[in-house]
Amino acid sequence: MKSLSYSKSNGQYPLTPVTNPWMIDIMAETDLVKKLIKNYKSPVNLHHIPSFEHNIDSFQEVFKKYNIDSRIYFARKANKSKSLVKAALDFEIGVDTASFNELEQSIKLGANSEYLVLTAAIKTSEMLKLAIQNNVVIIIDNHDELKLTQKIAKELNIIALIGIRLSGFIVAGKKLYSRFGFDIEGERSRLKLWFSQKSEFPNILLKGLHFHLDGYSIVQRAEAILQTLQFVDELKACGCNITFLDIGGGILVNYLESKKEWEDFQTGLQLAVLEEKPPLTFKNNGLGFKIAETGNSIEGNLKTYPYFNEINGPEFLEQILTYTKDSNPPVHELLNERNIQLRIEPGRSLLNGVGLTIATVAHRKQDANGTWLVGLEMNMSQLKSSSADFLVDPYIIYQNSESDIGSVELFFTGAYCLEQDILLKRKLSFPKLPDIGDFVVFVNTGGYMMHFYETEAHLFELSTNLYIQEAKDNEPLQILADDSISNI
Ligand SMILES: Cc1ncc(COP(=O)(O)O)c(C=O)c1O
């Protein structure tokens, strides 16, 4: 039975999420949500495979438009679900793996070598052996890793395929620092020597160059491509043929519907920090903004993901490809001229609109200040951003109307024994207080939010991951457990 009893948080400073229709459909199906929570316990994470496919298509369209030889590798570190790896392989894209288990599981799920890349930050012998035996390209970060790869490849009597990770690009006169990769300037001569002579690393074949930049700058990515292509030419002149350039991830996602809401929230937060307005966050957390020493102004920056982005997803990629410097041809022409395959490793952006997290209300209480705290059957590790907060309004699905406390401001709290287990730091505002057993829905949590920091402290079980397949005409939605996918 359909019921439209869900409601978005809508305070003085709303941050209205961009939602995909499937999310709204789920929230309208109270009985279905009840059944899912009964079967799988709170919280559950839902993944919508058709939205994942749509995101893949939208990147492929850009590559097609510029006639670029390309390959997408889904950075699965952003989400643990096997269903997404299977979907990536079904939709003929690759998988970027960052650990032994990610690599082994992807192989067991049917990925062949061309559709895998190993980019792990720390590479064990066991991991390198698995990659080498399966002809998976290994992205090498440093000299020790290179030597270990050579040693293992020699023992196995196999040629290991590698890409070299570069960093230290100069953009607008400044060097971009990274703890990862070989410095493109400082290590240039050594790299040329190693891969032109082939005597030091006879069991290694350099196939490509790689970078992944921190932050979300289009210009930095395009400039890094230009500097890498110059290096490609130098390597070619030394007899070393580079076949791919992998530019990692970092393609921006837009989580929010309104630029105005995003800007107003930041203005409001600064006024709250200055105590010119009531707090917008738990204990008036400035999320990076703080009062300057002079006492009457704000210093610092908002230390969260930039949740509103006009240029995002495919358009972000297109702007990299069409970037031009001086009177040179655009990036896409420079790549095509050299017959280089462009590879990307999107995580977050392939998961845009793909996931949501649902949890049950366990209790309601007021603290000593009269603030409503609504306890949920989940913990802070199950909705945790690497930035200061997840600035996206959640929804409540009301099951009945017993509660007569209307128009309420509240915070959601979690199950860890920590004062800081406040699920979203932002004060939320709903038309009425939820009842015990009502559901809270956090949308667009698929990229990093639901899994990246999830822990089993207090022996809590990990959340259950479900996935939704394409619904056929007139058939009910197919919602399946990720655990039911066999990877043996
Ligand atoms: C090497 C590498 N590739 C790809 C990604 C995915 O980035 P994103 O999820 O921003 O697309 C990451 C993220 O940390 C990374 O380190």
Q: How crowded is the C-beta side of 357, counted as CA atoms within 13 Å?
A: 31
Helices in 238-290 by DSSP H: which ranges?
A: 259-273
Closest atom of ligand 1 to CA, residue 139: 1
- Whole-number Å distance, alpha carbon 275 to ligand 1 midpoint, is 38
- Whole-number Å distance, alpha carbon 251 to ligand 1 midpoint, is 9
Q: What residue's CA is closest to ligand 1, atom 5?
A: 249
**241, two tokens:** 């043929």
Residue 171's beta-bridge partner residues? Answer: 174
What gap in Å lies between CA 38 and CA 47, rounded to an integer? Answer: 18
pLDDT attached to residue 403? 67
Other Cβ atoms closer than 10 A to 236 = 13
What gap in Å lies between CA 347 and CA 77, rounded to an integer? Answer: 7
pLDDT attached to residue 422? 95
pLDDT attached to residue 20? 97
pLDDT attached to residue 487? 67
Q: What is the pLDDT of residues 258-272, one digit of tens each?
A: 999 999 999 999 999
Ligand 1 site-directed mutation target among 79, 245, 345, most atoms within 8 Å of CB: 345
Residue in 364, 444, 454 with CA at minimum distance from that of residue 77: 454
- Whole-number Å distance, alpha carbon 384 to ligand 1 midpoint, is 17
Q: What residue's CA is closest to ligand 1, atom 13?
A: 249
What gap in Å lies between CA 95 and CA 113, rounded to an integer? Answer: 10
> Which residues of the chain are under the pLDDT cut of 50?
1-4
Q: What is the pLDDT of residues 280-297, one digit of tens each?
A: 999 999 999 999 988 889
Q: What residue's CA is closest to ligand 1, atom 12?
A: 249
Helix (H, G, I), strand (E, B) or coil at 147: helix
CB 426 within 8 A of CB 470: no
- Whole-number Å distance, alpha carbon 229 to ligand 1 midpoint, is 21
**148, two tokens:** 């270990």
Which residues does ligand 1 sit against, CB inside 6 Å?
A: 75, 78, 96, 119, 212, 248-251, 345-349
Q: What residue's CA is closest to ligand 1, atom 3?
A: 248
pLDDT attached to residue 1? 41
Q: How crowded is the C-beta side of 188, counted as CA atoms within 13 Å?
A: 13
**128, two tokens:** 């390198």
- Per DSSP, the residues of 346-388 read -SGGGGTTTEEEEEEEEEEEE-TT--EEEEESS-GGGS--SSS
Residue in 52, 4, 49, 48 with CA at minimum distance from that of residue 23: 48
* Burial state string for 40-66 with b = 16 or more CB within 10 A and e = fewer than 16: bebbbbbbbbbbbbebbebbbebbeeb
pLDDT attached to residue 414? 96
What domains lie within the chain, and their CATH numbers?
6-48+353-484 (2.40.37.10), 50-252+308-348 (3.20.20.10), 259-299 (no CATH)
